[in-house]
Homo-oligomer: A and B are copies of this chain.
Amino acid sequence: MNLYAPVKQNRTLFDKHQGTIERAIEAVHKREFYAQYPEMPSPQVYGETAEADQKKLYELQPGAKFDRLKQTHDTWITSDEESPFTMQKLSISYPAFSEAGKYITAVQAAWSDWRKTDAKTRAGVLLESLERVKGSFYEVAFSTMHTTGQSYMMSFQASGPHAADRALEAIALGYQELTRFPEKLTWTKPAGKVNLTLEKFFTTVPKGVSLAIGCATFPIWNTVPGLYASLITGNPVIVKPHPKAIYPIAIVVAHIQEVLVENGFNADLVMLAPDTEKKLITKELAENPAVKIIDFTGSSSFGQYIESLPGKVSFTEKAGVNSIIIDSVADLGAMAQNVAFSISLYSGQMCTAPQNFFIPKGGIKAGDKHVPFEEVAKAIVDAVKGLVTHPKAGPAVVGAIQSEATHKRISEASALGGKTLLESAPVQNPEFPNIRSASPIIIELPASARATYEREMFGPIAFVIATEDTNQSVELASGSAREHGAINCGAYTVDNKVMESIAEKMAEVGTPVSFNLTGNVYVNQNAGFSDFHVTGGNPAGNASLTDPEFVLKRFTRVQAKVNHG
């Protein structure tokens, strides 16, 4: 006899990918360097003709139907997507439902086999889908570039291998937690002369319909962890992309649906639910009582609304204000080059980009010398100027500005007060003459201007803040993290005691710190399998990619006991 017997078991796909999942579980637990998907676009790894072939695919898409989805639909929606590089509308049409409620009904109808199959079968199907996505990494890159404004290289890496690694990480932890306890056992309790014996069966029950709400800047990277975490734990998922960035995640959903159907599952288990600015459907979906799980990346105000919805488990990444604390440096130039890159990369449109630079007003120790505050600020300003005006590096690093709102925020930043140390200017891109671009603006503010610098100024806007001393810098950075959230913190110090103190104080407000980064390692970067992304320990988000909670909260453990008398 077997209770909770799984349906549609598939060992073939699991066997094919077993090595990958076991290696991923090991990597997550060792937190060493590991990447299943190499981050550089390489013909050897990704196929000799892959880039050219997929570029053609991409070029056919604007103005046309995206017809690779296998999901049920009753209409087509033409998207608001627009390339920040060309300023041309993409005008892609996606299959959709005319009413949001129909997505709920459809995913619920498609759910039953997936809910009742086992962890191995789910893991096999999901890993196979990632392999298919790998075969589309270049199209993913082009579509990401021309929706988000990320440079081509960043689009490839962030939406391709890095995102796939994060997805694999979620599958691996999900698989591990689903199989952590035995499925069945015979339980025998000594009870005096006799033994009491029960057969026990354990199962995992998915929570219910999952809603993955995407953002406009990282449409794949920020969506796939929650999407795959919900799927591995047995839940159906409605993917509601940002209306300005549908195409990249549509490719992912299409591949998942393809593998589901090939293996006898219903494509509607995962549905793309596109919408347009004119008729947004996020709230209607989120408030539906059948929706039990919500993954969200976006603004603090919408994130707080999501978190406040009763009867849901939510995983949010909201706004954070990241700080760089400069106490002392070994090499002023090396520090300045490094932080200049972090400010400029994708024009500060990463949730991990630094905004506030706290520097003691009396200056800092740099190598053997004492360097006044103004000189530290100038070193950063000069490094940014050098980078963004570099004819090749400049446009490649800054990419384009995703939204008009961010563009407007930059142009209005000089009115915030303080002393503008570096004006923003368009960054010319020879390939895209119509690009919407803007180099960083750097403004000096007094420590007292907390109301200004403790707001997230999304985009390439940085503040240099003169503090009494490093103690005050840490106090301001940690206070801001506690009240307004922070995803990370950078710090420069040559003093181990100061380092320990900064690490400790920022840990108390749930903020990881990167110390003394120079060269090609940047505070913006979190490595899959090794770095937790967001801690959940401050208002920047209530979840962490990918800690055990991220998968555990998506299912319930239930058991049965059978007495054979």
Chain A residues with a Cβ under 8 A of chain B? 1-5, 29-33, 116, 177, 180-182, 185, 187-191, 196, 198, 200-203, 205, 207, 308, 310, 330, 334, 496, 499-500, 503-504, 506-508, 510-521, 527, 530-532, 535-537, 544, 547-549, 552-553, 556-565
Closest CB in chain B relative to A18 CB, distance in Å: 21
B202, B500, B564: the one contacting A5 at CB < 8 Å is B500
Nearest-neighbor residue (CB-CB) of A523 within chain B: B561
B507 touches A558 (CB 8 A): yes
* Contact present for B560 and A536 (CB under 8 Å): no
A515 to B561, CA, bound (A): 6
List of B residues within 8 angstroms of A196 by Cβ: 519-521
Q: 4 closest Cβ contacts across the A-B interface?
A: A537-B556, A3-B503, A507-B558, A515-B562
If A31-B182, A511-B558, A549-B552 are given as contacts, then 10 extra A-B residue pairs at C-beta distance below 8 Å, sorted by A number, are A32-B188, A180-B548, A196-B521, A198-B521, A330-B565, A507-B558, A510-B556, A512-B560, A514-B560, A515-B562
Say how far A551's CB is from chain B's closest CB, in angstroms. 10
Kindly list chain B residues whose C-beta atoms are within 8 Å of the C-beta of A185.
Answer: 30-32
| Known A30-B182, A31-B185, A32-B185: A512·B559 in contact at CB below 8 Å | yes
Q: How far is the CB of A289 from chain B (nearest CB, A)?
A: 12
Q: In the bound complex, what is the Cα–Cα distance between A560 and B503 (angstroms)?
A: 7
A511→B116 CA distance, assembly (Å): 16
Residue contact A503 to B201, C-beta cutoff 8 Å:
yes
- Report chain B residues within 8 Å CB of A519: 196, 563, 565
Query: How far is A314 from B188 in the complex, measured between Cα atoms in Å?
Result: 34
Given A185-B32, A518-B565: A500 and B559 interface contact (C-beta under 8 Å): no
Q: Name the residue of chain B whose CB is nearest to the CB of A334.
A: B565
In the bound complex, CA of A441 to CA of B504 (Å): 60
Verify B499–A1 contact, CB threshold 8 A: yes
Interface centre among A29, A32, A182, A553 (most CB of B within 10 A): A32
A538 to chain B, nearest CB (A): 9
The smallest beta-carbon distance between A307 and chain B, in angstroms, is: 8
Contact A508 B205 (CB under 8 A): yes
Indicate if the CB atoms of A532 and B515 lie closer than 8 Å: no
User: Nearest chain B CB to A254's CB is how many angstroms away?
Assistant: 30
Rounded to whole angstroms, the CA-CA distance of A275 and B504 in the bound complex is: 37
Assess whether A188 is in contact with B33, with CB atoms less than 8 Å apart: yes
Task: From known contacts A499-B3, A521-B198, A565-B518, infer whether A507 and B537 are also in contact, taking CB-CB under 8 Å.
Answer: no
Chain B residues with CB under 8 Å of A4's CB are: 503-504, 507
Report how far A32 CA is from B535 CA in the complex, Å: 34
Task: Please measure, in the bound complex, the distance between the C-alpha atom of A532 and the C-alpha atom of B552, giving whole angstroms.
Answer: 15
The listed residue with most B CB atoms (<10 A of its CB), out of A190, A517, A552, A561, is: A561
CB-CB nearest in chain B for A2: B500
A560 adjacent to B515 (CB under 8 Å): yes
Cross-chain pairs A/B with CB under 8 angstroms, 27 sampled:
A3-B499, A4-B504, A5-B500, A29-B180, A31-B181, A31-B200, A116-B504, A187-B530, A189-B527, A196-B519, A196-B521, A205-B510, A205-B537, A207-B537, A330-B565, A334-B565, A499-B562, A506-B558, A507-B560, A515-B562, A518-B565, A532-B557, A535-B557, A535-B558, A544-B557, A547-B557, A548-B548
Known: A33-B189, A496-B1, A558-B535. A548 touches B177 (CB 8 A): yes
Cβ distance A458 to chain B, nearest Cβ, rounded Å: 24
Q: Considering the complex, give the chain B residue whose CB is closest to the CB of A512.
A: B559
- Asked whether B29 lies within 8 Å of A181 as measured between CB atoms, the reply is yes
CB neighbours of A189 from chain B (8 A): 33, 527
CA distance A32 to B4 in the complex (A): 19
CA distance A514 to B3 in the complex (A): 12
Give min CB distance, A425 to chain B, whole Å.
Answer: 31
Selected from B330, B511, B512, B563, the residue in CB contact (under 8 A) with A521 is: B563
